[in-house]
Structure formats: structure tokens, C-alpha cells
Amino acid sequence: MAVIQAVFFGICVLTDLSSLLTKGNDSQEQERQLKKLISLRDWMMAVLAFPIGVFVVTMFWSIYIYDRELVYPKLLDNFIPPWLNHGMHTTVLPFLLIEMRTTHHEYPSRTCGLVAMCIFSVGYILWVCWIYHVTGVWVYPLLDYLGSGAKIIFFATVTAIINMFYLLGEVLNNCIWDTQKCMEEGKEKPKLD
């Protein structure tokens, strides 16, 4: 997850710098390259950075509060300082929300976005299973406590939740950047007393 966030925010910085450096320049090629960079940034925000980031923060802290040994054993405190733990599992969310509020992101079609999200999720699940196959140790201690059938249900549920976070990101982006549309949707809904 840290790699996704680092790459995404690196692309954000590169996009902003490129935009500043090409401002006022009439080069069609530079404009075309900038549009490609913006498209990549928007795709990464929609499909990877936001849904995975929100999922990791909510899942990590939910499980941590329930029983930290299932996701972040106390033994890790000897190797990973608290500030680094928060850097990986807390600060991601506020930075994503700031990014969403300060920059409009063009989301891909819902079908393409959800398919890409599912492909990433399945790939990550297969990677986690491969690590277990090679090392005999689950990356996430929680998986030690689940039987084979429960793991399949867990992985399917996780994929569904990540897809819901994709949809949440799309809705938030549209509400933030299309306030007229959000206001109209709010007027159309009947109030429940």
C-alpha cells in the first residue's frame, strides 16, 4: 500500500510540475504528454490510491481495535516505531481526502474501474497466497485463524468492500466537483421524518 501511495503522490507532484513548466507553452506534444500524465494520475486515484488507501486504514484499525495480534502483533513494536505505523495506516486517509478536495479527478467508466479494481484485488490475493506457499507464513496473522472456506469468503468480502470504496470515491469526487448535481440529487430525495 505504501508503494501505491508513493507512486501516486509522486505522479501528482510530477503532474503539477509539468503543468507549471508547460504553462504558456504552445507545444502540442507537451500538451499531449501532460494530458497522458493527468489521465494516469486520475486512473491511479480512482482505481488504486483511494479505494486501497481507505480500505487499508479502515480494515487495519478495525481489526487492530478488536485484536491487534490479528493484524499487527505487539512484537512489531520493537522494529516499527509508532510514527511509521501511523504513516502506513493512518495518514494515508487525510492526504487522499485533501487530494480529492483540491484536484478534480476524471474517473474511468464504472465498468472499467471496477474490473481494474477486481483484477488488482485478485492479483494481490494471489500474491499473499504465493508468499504463504513459499514461506509457510501468512503475511496477515488473521489468515492463520481462518479455514480454507472462510479464507475464500474473506477474500471475496474484501474484494466487494474495496469495490464499494471505489464507488464511494466516485461519488465523493462527483459531489465535491459537481455541487449543482449533488444539490439536485439532495432535492429529489424525500425527507424521512
Neighbour tally for 155: CB within 10 Å: 19
Tell me the residue type at 20: L
Nearest to 171 by CA among 120, 107, 125: 107
Output the pLDDT for position 39. Answer: 95
pLDDT band at 185 (very low <50, low <70, confident <90, very high): low
Does residue 7 carry a pLDDT above 70?
A: yes
Least confident of 41-55, 64-78, 169-183: 169-183
Average pLDDT score, the chain: 89
For the chain, the domains span 2-180
Neighbour tally for 109: CB within 10 Å: 8
Alpha carbons 139 and 147: distance in angstroms, whole number: 16
CB-based contacts of 12, cutoff 8 Å, min separation 6 = 41, 99, 103
Nearest to 146 by CA among 138, 25, 179, 60: 138
Least confident of 26-35, 62-71, 165-174, 177-186: 177-186
Tell me the residue type at 151: K
pLDDT over 70 for what percent of the chain? 92
Rg, the chain, Cα only: 20
Neighbour tally for 60: CB within 10 Å: 20
* Mean pLDDT confidence for 98-111: 94
Output the pLDDT for position 160. Answer: 96
Least confident of 1-5, 51-55, 79-83, 168-172: 1-5
Residue range 127-153, pLDDT digits in tens: 999 999 999 999 888 899 999 999 999
Output the pLDDT for position 187. Answer: 56
Alpha carbons 150 and 172: distance in angstroms, whole number: 32
Cell 474484501 sits on residue: 158
Neighbour tally for 179: CB within 10 Å: 10
Output the pLDDT for position 141. Answer: 86
- For the chain, how far is it from start to end, CA to CA, in angstroms? 42
